[in-house]
Structure 1
Amino acid sequence: MKKLTLLILMLAAVAGVHAKTVKKKKKQATSKEIVSVSIHRTVCFGKCPDYIVEINKDGTATYTGRMFVQDTGIFKKNIGKQKAGEIITLFKTYRVDTCSEMYENRIPDLPGLNMVINYKKGKKQIYNCKWGPAFLEEIATAMEEAGKMPDESKTGWKKTGMPKKP
């Protein structure tokens, strides 16, 4: 009888510790949930286009044309939750959150590529992605295909404002 009581008490203690661990992991996962991602292509010493593409998990894309682009302004479009989810999945698959915050730019005349991952609580910024792992450029290309306003057709894009001065 004593052994049975001891066994029940041990099982209850293990279950309590396990439940607490699961709750803690769930809380950490929620705080690391990606809300939006963005890329910023910066100017060079010439006339390289300066724009930002932001994709939200709800499927909205925001294109901000700042300098040396056909149309300056802030434009929005719904690209769909599925497409936005595919892009956010790329960030998770490649574990972009583990990348360095800055990669050394070896040639200062080239345009920059910066990324921001916005979480429910906090954000991760990566500067000079062009000099980082190759998958960062792959992700940037996927984001541009989904959320960069094309020069020839503005179908579905709605202008919502003008960008603030850099």
Structure 2
Amino acid sequence: MKNSALIILVSCVLLGSCMKPSTNSNKKLDQISLITISRTPCFGTCPIYTLQIDKHCVATLEAVDHLPNGLKGRYETNLPEKEWMKLIKKLEQMNYSSLEDTYGNRQISDLPSVISSISYEDGDMKKIDDYGARGNQELSELYAYIDALIGTLDWESTDGNQ
């Protein structure tokens, strides 16, 4: 009887370890319709912008102030597909959809926020409000990647500002 119970237990453990991991927490990355990242102001020279990238790799930038490349105004560009795939991979690796909805200590003033969101084709959305922009290591790396990406893309003004 003990041997039967042991065999059943070992079988369950082995079968469970071969099962495909659940993707519920990593919600439908192939069904993303829009990625948005916004940086809010502080009392200093923090970059202030909103970047939206749709599933067709069209990137729209509303550059408000303090961007390293000096952009101000509304811009558009086509994101290279390899950059879209790199971004999707980062979101997948960090399991974005399972992260907390809010980060940071609002008792401290003068910190900028980074508000990021993913909109899905079915109308669902995951939004993270990261006050202080230090939610966790993966989010910090995502923000650095986005900031660098904004600096390297060839933006075309859509409102006449250069």
Of 134, 142, 147, 2:145 maps to 142
User: Partner letter of residue 143 of structure 1?
Assistant: I
> Residue 77 of structure 2 corresponds to which residue in structure 1?
77
Query: Is structure 2 residue 126 aligned with structure 1 residue 128?
Result: no
Contact 1:60 1:80 in 2 (8 A): no
Q: Which runs of 5+ in 1 are unaligned?
A: 1-24
Q: How many residues align?
A: 130
In 2, the alpha carbon distance for the partners of 1:135 and 1:30 equals 19
Whole-Å separation in 2 of the counterparts to 1:140 and 1:36: 16
Q: Which sections of structure 2, spanning at least 5 residues, go unmatched?
A: 1-22
Q: Offset at 1:149?
A: 4.3
Q: Is 1:56 aligned with 2:42? A: no
Q: CA RMSD in A?
A: 2.6
> TM-score, structure 1 length as denominator?
0.66
Name the % identity.
25
Residue 34, structure 1, aligned to residue 32, structure 2: yes
- Asked if structure 2 preserves the Cα contact closer than 8 Å seen for 1:103 and 1:127, the reply is yes
Kindly indicate whether residue 117 of structure 2 is the aligned counterpart of residue 119 of structure 1. Answer: no
Name the CA shift for 1:30/1:133 in 2 (closer, same or farther; >3 Å): closer
The structure that has the greater radius of gyration is 1
Q: 1:92 to 1:157 in 2, by over 3 A?
A: same
**Structure with more of its chain in helix, by fraction:** 1
User: Are 2:36 and 2:116, in contact at CA under 8 Å, matched by a contact in 1?
Assistant: yes
TM-score, normalization: structure 2? 0.68
Q: How far did 1:79 drift?
A: 2.1
